[in-house]
Structure 1
Amino acid sequence: MTSPIHVNSEIGKLKTVMLKRPGKEVENITPDIMYRLLFDDIPYLPTIQKEHDYFAKTLQDNGVEVVYLEDLSAEAIDAGNVKEEFLDKMLQESNIKSDSIREALKKYLFAMETQDMVEKIMAGVRTNEIDVKSKALIDVSADDEYPFFMDPMPNLYFTRDPAASMGDGLTINKMTYAARQRESMFMEVIMAHHPRFGNGEATVWRDRNHDDRMEGGDELVLNDKVLAIGISQRTSAQSIEELAVSLFKNKANFEKILAIKIPHNHAMMHLDTVFTMIDYDKFTIHPGIQGEGGNVDVYILENDGKDGVKISHRTDLQNVLKEALDEPELKLIPCGGGDAIVAPREQWNDGSNTLAIAPGVVVTYDRNYVSNELLRSEGIKVIEVLSSELSRGRGGPRCMSMPLVREDLNK
């Protein structure tokens, strides 16, 4: 039987991808709470939905099956008959200190059809939606100005981060910030109960029940032997080493992890915001991650022969990639052409965050016209998608997509 998850590269022809269409959760961002929710701006819902639908249609027009997180989640909950169990866990992780509010929320949400419940959890529950009658001090003294009992999850349209496919399995991630930590619970229930994914038979290399953080935007599958993972604002060195141990102990195909250290800031929050693979021998890169002489700290994790890890350190990223991928000639194409003004501007709008749908074929935001033309001049086919509102969330086409199945590379 073909595995429901099969991703052995960043560039193999994309066959199946999971998206999340932006919903009411985006309209529930306000200026007072947008930073708490990890947003710098407030997208306009009708337009962001139009742009996301254009993105999905672009993928479908190129032969990609598109499935949606919100639909798979509801189907999995019903298939596993775990509606109450899922809801209890979601409420437990929603930082609700009041027993009265928690019980009222459970009653309100559990009465909904499963699909409606999932979408309402994602959108958030406002305080004016439920009448909570309680004389407990925690309730009568509560902050009347905060508008939510359950926070919205507007980052969900970046499906890349809560989980990441690699080989015939995946990681389900412990995410860094409270605003996003509940998101991976949807992937957890899908993998455990959805018939498409074997009702719990899919291999989970690393689950969300860890102390340390990891996010899918930092996880790149360079080929069936080599991973690249960013040591970043959102993924720790400890979690990368833990994943390496798991892969080696579980006899995964992967033999090497390139742990690439990038600056820890919001503009470069994940490795894929500064570095993506677009062809066998070509990568996009943001010059801002390179030090003097183009140096980047790369830690190479390999099996020590006892299912443990041995680590070596290099700073010549281009040569490390050449050796790891067995490519004698390899090009790093700078975002914005490396221009002092253009590069950071297009980087802010995810100029390096490309989604490869086949070798040498990428989907990019139309607003990054300098980077796009540079890619074309290097022989890359560039398919542009609309981006005026999608880009406000600080994530590009790769961030918005979780590949589930790619064709293996012939080379």
Structure 2
Amino acid sequence: MEKNINVSSEVGRLRRLIIHSPDEGIGKVIPTKAQEWLFEDIIHLDTMRSKEYDLYVKLLLYFLDYDKIHGAITDADHPMNSRNYYKPDKEEYFNSDKVVEPQYLLSEILEHRDVRNRLVASVCAYEETSYAIQDQLLELPSKILSRTLISGIMPDGTMIFPPIPNFIFTRDIGIVVNDYLLMNKPAKAARARESIITKYILFNHPAFSEYKDNIIEITETEDFFLLDAEEQEKSKITMEGGDIMTIAPNHLLVGVSERTTLHAASRVVQLMHEKGIVEKVTVIKIPAKRAYMHIDTTFTQVKRNMWVMFGSFSREGIKKERHGVLESLVGDSKNEYKLDIKQYIKGRDYSDPITFEYLEDLLDDISQNDLKSEEPTEFIFSGNNEFPYGRREQWTDSCNVLAIKEGVIIGYDRNDKTTESFRKKGIEPITAEELLRKFDKGELMPDEVENTLILLPSAELSRARGGSHCMSMPLLRDSLFN
């Protein structure tokens, strides 16, 4: 039987994923609430949709669902040129089973009265709406109700609860580990409704019915509720998908960051081994700072032997950050860029993990030993490792790229120095607009694209602090070892 869900690497040929196009709720974010809702700035929604995310969707459709999109660029009457093609509640919606929209999946499960009743009750209880609002929601058509539960906006424009603008970052709602689904447990209240909605989709939609027993929820320990507030803060479990990477069939990476706690990482290690899902789990502790947020904001994979990473976390970068102070006086504990990297292997005593001193050592080990690369491991650095561009471009997601397949990745066009570094490694840049034009005119087929960095316009998208890696939840990738 053909698998619908299986991810065993970061760079195997991408076949199916979940994305959420920017919804109207994003256009309701105001300056005084932006940071609480985890945005750095307010977004011009129409620009984000029509001039940036629009190209992201079309690129994904060309690579994953060619027949759905071919001819759209040059045919003014093609459905994909409608301003409504990305809206699941509109007739023009593209509705691909390869590039999947959670809002559409949500609308389908809301057709079932029992699911509708339970989900609306769950959301209304969490958002503390009135009973009258709950009754109104229950009477909405499924496609409209789906839109309202996500955007917080009723059909008449009334705002009944906050938007969930971070839902465009579908990486964080869950991660596929081989043929298991690992659900998130968000650190911030602004993302709680995403988690509720995702849970209902995964447990109730037919697309996931064969995987119900493979859905893993990370929960608090039994005695957590008996702890006082201070103890709870120290031992709470929170986890987001940007800190999880299925890097090889036998190997999972887990970040400990601003959003994912040590207790969550520990629980993941134990569950992965208990269920026999992977042999190795490597925990990477990075500084708990907004600038880094998740591990995928500091490194992602380009090919089995190539990575893009934040230079300050590199071997040389860590030395430079000491600013000339004697190492014997400073010590690693005083260096905020020093990472703590420990690898736990099934059957090996957890008190004796394998330790990696530098991130490059771990990534090289993955490339050479887990992924069996026949070529030396190479690194591309944010901002070409030039001051101050390394930090500037890491902030605008230079290290956060999505691999369509080995060597073909989507990144942001604004990170000029990083693009220069990609070119030096033989990865040639092309704008999303130019590549789509070539596809549409038949000058190039998606399967013919090799060693290419596709540059996505990003003036508005980058304000939301997430790149193409964040904006994707891969469901199915080809194995690297077929």
Secondary structure in 2 aligned to 1:376? helix
Distance 1:261 1:33 in 2: 29
Distance 1:288 1:321 in 2: 15
Match of 1:323 in 2: 365
Secondary structure in 2 aligned to 1:198? helix
Match of 2:17 in 1: 17
Match of 2:139 in 1: 111
2:163 aligned residue (149, 152, 169): 152
Q: 1:87 to 1:333 in 2, by over 3 A?
A: same
Deviation at 1:29, TM superposition (A): 0.4
Residue 410 of structure 1 aligns with an amino acid whose one-letter code is F
C-alpha contact 1:25 1:152 (8 A) present in aligned 2 = yes
C-alpha contact 1:153 1:179 (8 A) present in aligned 2 = yes
Match of 1:93 in 2: 126
Deviation at 1:224, TM superposition (A): 0.5
Q: 1:355 to 1:91 in 2, by over 3 A?
A: same
C-alpha contact 2:239 2:259 (8 A) present in aligned 1 = yes
Match of 1:271 in 2: 295
Deviation at 1:382, TM superposition (A): 0.6
1:301 aligned residue (332, 344, 364): 344
Match of 2:214 in 1: 203
**1:340-355 alignment, distance < 5 Å:** 340-355=387-402
Distance 2:396 2:244 in 1: 20
Secondary structure in 1 aligned to 2:379? strand
Question: Which moves more between the two structures, 373-382 or 167-176?
Answer: 373-382
Match of 1:120 in 2: 148
C-alpha contact 1:184 1:208 (8 A) present in aligned 2 = no
Match of 1:6 in 2: 6
1:213 aligned residue (238, 249, 258): 238
Deviation at 1:38, TM superposition (A): 1.0
Residue 238 of structure 2 aligns with an amino acid whose one-letter code is R
Q: 1:180 to 1:157 in 2, by over 3 A?
A: same
Q: 1:179 to 1:191 in 2, by over 3 A?
A: same
Secondary structure in 2 aligned to 1:352? coil
Deviation at 1:2, TM superposition (A): 2.6
Secondary structure in 2 aligned to 1:78? coil
Distance 1:80 1:17 in 2: 27
Distance 2:407 2:242 in 1: 20
C-alpha contact 2:413 2:455 (8 A) present in aligned 1 = yes
Q: 1:30 to 1:279 in 2, by over 3 A?
A: same
Q: 1:57 to 1:129 in 2, by over 3 A?
A: closer
Q: 1:216 to 1:152 in 2, by over 3 A?
A: same
Deviation at 1:296, TM superposition (A): 3.0
**1:175-214 alignment, distance < 5 Å:** 175-198=186-209, 201=212, 203-207=214-218, 211-214=236-239
TM (norm. structure 2) is 0.75
1:235 aligned residue (260, 264, 284): 260
2:403 aligned residue (353, 356, 366): 356
Deviation at 1:79, TM superposition (A): 5.0
Q: 1:5 to 1:202 in 2, by over 3 A?
A: farther
Distance 2:480 2:460 in 1: 34
Give the number of the structure whose residues are more often strand, by fraction: 1
Any idea what the Cα deviations from partners look like across 1:316-363, whole Å, max 9, x if unmatched?
Answer: 322233334415722222101111111111111101100011011111
Q: 1:389 to 1:219 in 2, by over 3 A?
A: same
C-alpha contact 2:299 2:400 (8 A) present in aligned 1 = yes
C-alpha contact 1:245 1:309 (8 A) present in aligned 2 = no
Any idea what the Cα deviations from partners look like across 1:198-249, whole Å, max 9, x if unmatched?
Answer: 1663511334677510100111111101111211101112111111211111
Distance 1:309 1:160 in 2: 31
Distance 1:200 1:60 in 2: 25
Distance 1:408 1:118 in 2: 34
Any idea what the Cα deviations from partners look like across 1:96-119, whole Å, max 9, x if unmatched?
Answer: 2xxxx4202202211111221121
Distance 1:10 1:41 in 2: 30
Q: 1:403 to 1:238 in 2, by over 3 A?
A: same
Q: 1:340 to 1:305 in 2, by over 3 A?
A: closer
Any idea what the Cα deviations from partners look like across 1:351-378, whole Å, max 9, x if unmatched?
Answer: 1100011011111111112212211221
Any idea what the Cα deviations from partners look like across 1:81-107, whole Å, max 9, x if unmatched?
Answer: 40010011112222x2xxxx4202202
Residue 75 of structure 1 aligns with an amino acid whose one-letter code is E
Residue 311, structure 1, aligned to residue 312, structure 2: no
Residue 384 of structure 2 aligns with an amino acid whose one-letter code is G
Match of 1:292 in 2: 319
Residue 340 of structure 2 aligns with an amino acid whose one-letter code is D
Residue correspondences, number: 386
Q: 1:74 to 1:156 in 2, by over 3 A?
A: same
Deviation at 1:410, TM superposition (A): 2.9
Residue 61 of structure 1 aligns with an amino acid whose one-letter code is Y
Deviation at 1:304, TM superposition (A): 2.7
**1:362-373 alignment, distance < 5 Å:** 362-373=409-420
Residue 386, structure 1, aligned to residue 414, structure 2: no
Residue 19 of structure 1 aligns with an amino acid whose one-letter code is I
Deviation at 1:310, TM superposition (A): 5.4
Distance 1:332 1:183 in 2: 34
Residue 340 of structure 1 aligns with an amino acid whose one-letter code is F
C-alpha contact 1:298 1:314 (8 A) present in aligned 2 = yes
